[in-house]
Structure 1
Amino acid sequence: MSPLPPAPCWPRRDADHLLVSGAQMAALEQQLFASGLPVEALMEKAALAVAERVRTGSAWRRQARRSGVLVLVGPGHNGGDGLVVARELHLAGWPVRIWCPWPRIKPLTEAHRRHAAWLGIPALEGEPNPADGALWIDALFGVGQTRRLDPALELLLAHRQQQQPGQLVAIDVPSGLCSDSGRCLGDVAAVAHTTYCIGLRKQGLVQDAALPYVGRLRRIDLGLAPTLLESLPPNQLLGIGGARAAADLAALPWPQIDPTAAKYGRGRLLVVAGSQSFRGAAILALSGASASGAGSLRAALPEAVAEQLWLVQPYTVLQASLGSTAQAGLALGGLDAGALERLDAVLLGPGLGAAAATAEAPLWQAEQKFWDHLQAFKGLLVLDADGLNRLAAPSGGQAEALAIQWLRGRGGPTWITPHRGEFNRLFPDLQDLPPLEAARQA
């Protein structure tokens, strides 16, 4: 019998999904230049695409054509990109101005500045007015920023956001933002309505810390050769979302269900959620589970929710009505190995509340038995919220290392969904690392 084909990679490992560091993007560009592609050609290709996006962007097209565009030009090639954008918008008939406060800039950028002057594009001599109604295009620094902005520039960008919010777009990376971590390098960074990320998406721009600054993230495709993308490591980070979110979700490798299957052949799921303190968490979790398409949905719930379950979700089978710990958390000891029989998946965690204390010896011992049964469970386990907290801090003062041992000993696949606080409790030795590196090492 021939082996099954490998499972498809999701999301696809392509330019739409690869996430890279600033150093990796620079290395890819160097490979292009070494192959014979002129630096000037790549700058033109990228900047022409940005100019077209700006020119056709309905969000600001009317106002920009009326009030104009101000391009903030930096000393490097990001500034050169901005000057090409300024040139193209000027040639399209838009009122464009340039501001470049650096006396010395890179030769290619300087060449574009000379050409802009020859075209008659006005250049500001003094600092721009932050209340200016023009659309500002941030082409100051781009990828690879490691130092905070000059205090005067920080102040200018802060005043701009206060007086004209939503009237700035950034080329590649908002100035003042680290493209690897997504963190602000000083007290202020440019706040963009849209960031046009060139080539591949920079990993920092999809981090929580970057969200207030990036705005809408749009990738500018450079048509990078497949051989170039293949030079990245096999475990290179992949990201979903943004403009392709709907297409990415549609491409999920959903299980193929036999159209003749009865409900038990369409997925059997147990949801363990809620507590005396967090009753709503149980109903919210069940609502999500019922929308998944699972054919058989069971629930282990706090008594107060279990009594009314038939009124709100009559299609859910009540597996167990569970009592409370002294801290008003859900007492998991009421579940035994039989609760896990004939299941495909278990969701454990939303709103469970605090575990039993060692002083509640019978409750504590029963809960430990349940965790033993769950470790041996062969189906899919999704550990969320307080499920992670209970695993990370077992009753009796056991060390966090036991949680890792428990996960390693799981009898089936496990998905964990920690936010940073829950992650730090599970992996205390990794809590000082940036999120992506911490997740990779975990």
Structure 2
Amino acid sequence: MKAVGQERWFNAGSIGQLPSPLIHRAVVTADQMRQIEARIFAAGMPVAALMEKVAGLIAQWIRAHFPQSTFPQIGVLAGPGHNGGDALVVARELHLNGYRVQVHAPFSRLKELTEQHARYAASLGIPFVENVAALQDCNALVDGLFGFGLERDIEGDLAETVATLNAWPQPKISIDLPSGLQTDTGAVLSTALCATHTLCLGLWKRAFFQDEALPYLGEVELIDFGIPTADIEAVLGQSPVVQRLTSEAAIARLPLPRPPATHKYRVGHLLLVAGSRQYGGAAFLAGLGARASGMGMVTLAVPESLRGPFHAQLPEALILGCPETETGAIAHLPDSLDLDKFNAIACGPGLSRQAHTAVDQVLASGAPLLLDADGLNLLADQGAAATLSKRTAPTLLTPHPGEFKRLFPEIAKQQLEAGSAALAAAQASGAVLILKGGRSAIASPQGQLWYLAASTPALARGGSGDVLTGLAAGLLAQSAQNPDQATEGALNAALSAAWWHAQAARAAAKERSVLGVDPLTLTQFLDPTLAQWLQN
């Protein structure tokens, strides 16, 4: 087992050998995985040999994580296909290494290779049990009922078996995917096994990045069994359309290194339009996120009644008091304010729905623009795709699922998985999109899609999104220094900010627990977390 930063994978290669970058980041559909496997088999790799290799790695992983001295008895669930074949080879290898193994194979008809492994396992004296209840006393269970490509619901006796297994407390290790999850959408096919560990084989499947699947996956790890890079590129290309956002990629897109001879006006001037009398805290949190980004200057436009308090809270910011409505919202931005002089504008946190004129003003500007919260809701009132298509400067949107439905109702009606929905919206609107969730999806208008690899439920706190807005906007202001690279800068800001925000939350949760990561604490972990990553 190796690690790249905090990202775990189990490698078939030699000690110290890094995986192919494509293996580490590519995300495939079931059909793409079949195409890649077909190329491997067509080149001469016997199916049986690959099964032995993969299952041997799984058995090796189990021995390392569930040693025989502590977990002497292992139950194995074997399905009718090659996932079941993998499970039977695992059963054999564990048996030969001293584990007491029992197998439950609830199907009368098996694929030929799976049937051969079942016969051989039985010849070694491994008991096959007809009733799953016989596995209840096992110390751990291996789920090899179904792998990738399952499309039909789990019903009848098999559904009862899954329900029984889910009620048991022992660790459950799923091979490739927990049985019952659809490979591309992560949808639960009537029922699914709740794994404590899932060993994804070869390449990441889309299901691993779907919020619906997360309760079933447990801890996930990639089993790298050495797929040739040429076969991956033949199916996915050298730069796959859909990728897992790795730490290396996110760090590489930060505005680093900074030129040694520079000053505050050369490292980004951000205009942050935020806050109302009722929601002043959102503007403050966004300002703290922007501060952490390292941008050179921030002008904070708030209702006039908030101008005084913000001078003390953000002493480095230029505080611009704006005319306000009777309810304490920004009525409009000052007519004397030249919006096009800013390297980027962020608009929305705590704004309220009464600030429609201010949103219209920033939409009409020629500066790169980030919209969040009520900035998104007011955009939705005008029709997001049609309005954004008129903008010449890059736009970055950061909706949660509810805001996304209001912004892109026709796309939302299609009930696509999150990544596909984000990609459709990005292409329809011309905006870079962060569709926030347990595994956020980041999409570009050029048809590229990234899934955020790791996050934490500690971010399920009001105000966490405001911090992300400020952080992303500050990076956007720095990345937009070169107008010729403004579009790429918006994408860079989205990818780096989403990753950085999640990593800071993970670091805070490790120290404070998932219950202790309030938004202010989150801002305090942003810069120390990045510094630690940069030192690795």
Q: Give the TM-score category using the shorter length.
A: 0.7 to 0.9
Secondary structure of the 1:24 match is helix
C-alpha displacement at 1:47, in angstroms? Answer: 1.4
TM-score, reference length from structure 2: 0.70
The equivalent position to 2:84 in structure 1, one of 65, 69, 79, is 79
Task: Kindly report which structure 2 residues correspond to 1:67-146, keeping only aligned pairs within 5 A, or say none.
Answer: 68-128=73-133, 131-146=136-151
Structure 2 residue identity aligned to 1:323: E
Task: Kindly report which structure 2 residues correspond to 1:135-214, keeping only aligned pairs within 5 A, or say none.
Answer: 135-164=140-169, 167-186=171-190, 188-214=191-217
C-alpha displacement at 1:117, in angstroms? Answer: 1.4
For residue 387 of structure 2, what is the aligned residue in structure 1? 406
C-alpha displacement at 1:296, in angstroms? Answer: 0.9
Distance 1:48 1:375 in 2: 60
1:45 maps onto 2:28 in alignment: no
CA contact (8 A) 2:83 2:175 kept: yes
CA contact (8 A) 2:322 2:332 kept: no
Task: Kindly report which structure 2 residues correspond to 1:144-293, keeping only aligned pairs within 5 A, or say none.
Answer: 144-164=149-169, 167-186=171-190, 188-233=191-236, 236-240=240-244, 245-293=246-294
For residue 415 of structure 1, what is the aligned residue in structure 2? 396
Any stretches of 5+ residues in structure 1 without a counterpart?
1-11, 357-363, 395-399
CA contact (8 A) 1:375 1:406 kept: no
Distance 2:338 2:59 in 1: 60
Distance 2:68 2:96 in 1: 17
Distance 1:335 1:52 in 2: 66
Secondary structure of the 1:307 match is helix
C-alpha displacement at 1:73, in angstroms? Answer: 0.4
For residue 374 of structure 1, what is the aligned residue in structure 2? 363
CA contact (8 A) 1:376 1:411 kept: no
Secondary structure of the 1:333 match is coil
C-alpha displacement at 1:64, in angstroms? Answer: 5.3
CA contact (8 A) 1:170 1:192 kept: yes
1:432 maps onto 2:413 in alignment: yes
Secondary structure of the 1:429 match is helix
C-alpha displacement at 1:27, in angstroms? Answer: 1.6
Higher gyration radius (CA): 1
Secondary structure of the 1:40 match is helix
TM-score, reference length from structure 1: 0.84
For residue 389 of structure 1, what is the aligned residue in structure 2? 377
For residue 298 of structure 2, what is the aligned residue in structure 1? 297
C-alpha displacement at 1:133, in angstroms? Answer: 4.7
For residue 441 of structure 2, what is the aligned residue in structure 1? none
Structure 1 residues 438, 249: closer, same or farther in 2, change over 3 A?
Answer: closer
Distance 1:102 1:64 in 2: 31
The Cα offsets for residues 346-401 of structure 1, whole Å up to 9 and x where unpaired, read as 22222322135xxxxxxx6x44xx524533323x322222211111113xxxxx2x
**Identical positions, percent:** 38
C-alpha displacement at 1:253, in angstroms? Answer: 4.7
Structure 1 residues 295, 74: closer, same or farther in 2, change over 3 A?
Answer: same
Structure 1 residues 389, 129: closer, same or farther in 2, change over 3 A?
Answer: farther
1:65 maps onto 2:90 in alignment: no
Structure 1 residues 62, 387: closer, same or farther in 2, change over 3 A?
Answer: farther
Structure 1 residues 61, 116: closer, same or farther in 2, change over 3 A?
Answer: same
CA contact (8 A) 1:271 1:286 kept: yes
C-alpha displacement at 1:210, in angstroms? Answer: 0.9
For residue 8 of structure 1, what is the aligned residue in structure 2? none
C-alpha displacement at 1:407, in angstroms? Answer: 1.3
Structure 1 residues 54, 371: closer, same or farther in 2, change over 3 A?
Answer: same
Secondary structure of the 1:16 match is helix
CA contact (8 A) 2:273 2:346 kept: yes
CA contact (8 A) 1:375 1:411 kept: no
For residue 19 of structure 1, what is the aligned residue in structure 2? 27
CA contact (8 A) 1:179 1:203 kept: yes
Q: Which has the higher contact order (CA 8 A, sep 6+)?
A: 2
Structure 1 residue identity aligned to 2:421: A
CA contact (8 A) 2:322 2:334 kept: no
CA contact (8 A) 1:133 1:164 kept: no
C-alpha displacement at 1:335, in angstroms? Answer: 4.4
For residue 351 of structure 2, what is the aligned residue in structure 1? 352
